[in-house]
Amino acid sequence: MKKIELARATLADAAYAQIAEGVLTGDLGPGTRLLMDDLAERLGISRTPVREALLRLEMERVIEPHGRRGYVVRELSDAELDKQYAARTAIEPFALAEVARVGGEVARYVRTTFEDLSVAPQTTAMEVFLVNKAIHRATVEALENEYLLSMFDMIWQTGMAAKVWGDILESGESLNFAESHRSIVEAAESGDPELAFRVANEHIRAGRSLHAVHLPA
């Protein structure tokens, strides 16, 4: 971890970004203990912003309390990933099918978001995760349904604990990661809800297979 510069956003946000990056890359792997005093010293800041960052990660179910003053990085099991992906299949294919059915400005929103994200930096595991999430989130955002969006965010944040994001960055796959989502954009613009539903399901299944490869032994 690098010491945090005061010029960066808020200290709590900066602490969150540093800790989350460690989780995403696997440097802070499942079972790693996170102690407030230790993190504050390593980041060169006080305990208060570190506490705020840890509470945020706890709410996102990336870490869980351990002992009196510490936390531990949660292990995302194969069974939990199955549940997460099952939940995604209940939301994302429906959303993409609706976007394809409505078309017009709704489909254009997905296209515009994709084009913006395709040139976004992906130099850290956090950036890889956020770009991937944002592309999928655009299909739900386009529908302007806050209930679907809330469920989407809850499901995706738990996935931050998977080491796959750091592995994608290290392998160089992130260079074409946004491009691998082009089929979603084309399905959104197709005007064919059945095709869009099928494309979203196939993409989610492929994602589940990718996560399976990177699960800890």
Q: Identify whether residues 154 and 85 lie together within a single domain.
A: yes
Give residue 172's region: left, alpha or beta (phi > 0; psi -120 to 50): left
165 with 91, same domain: the answer is yes
Residue-by-residue pLDDT tens, the chain, 217 positions: 665 555 445 899 999 999 999 998 888 988 999 999 999 999 999 999 999 999 999 998 899 999 877 899 998 788 888 999 999 999 999 999 999 999 999 999 999 999 999 888 888 888 888 888 999 999 999 999 999 999 999 899 877 776 677 777 677 665 566 778 999 999 999 999 999 999 999 999 988 887 766 555 4
Together in a domain, 115 and 202:
yes
Rounded Cα distance between 171 and 192, Å, is: 35
Give the number of domains in the chain. 2
Global confidence as pTM:
0.82
Does residue 51 share a domain with residue 115?
Answer: no
Nearest to 54 by CA among 9, 85, 13: 13
> Residue 124: which CATH number?
1.20.120.530
Same domain, 47 and 93: no
Domain that holds residue 28: 11-73
Look up residue 176 and give its two tokens: 């074409």
Task: Give, in degrees to the nearest 5, the angle at Cα 4 between 130 and 117.
Answer: 20
How far is the C-alpha of 203 from the C-alpha of 27, rounded, in Å?
28
**Helix 193-213 / helix 164-171 crossing angle, nearest 10 deg:** 90
- Co-location of 136 and 204 in the same domain: yes
In 10 A of CB 7, how many CB atoms?
6
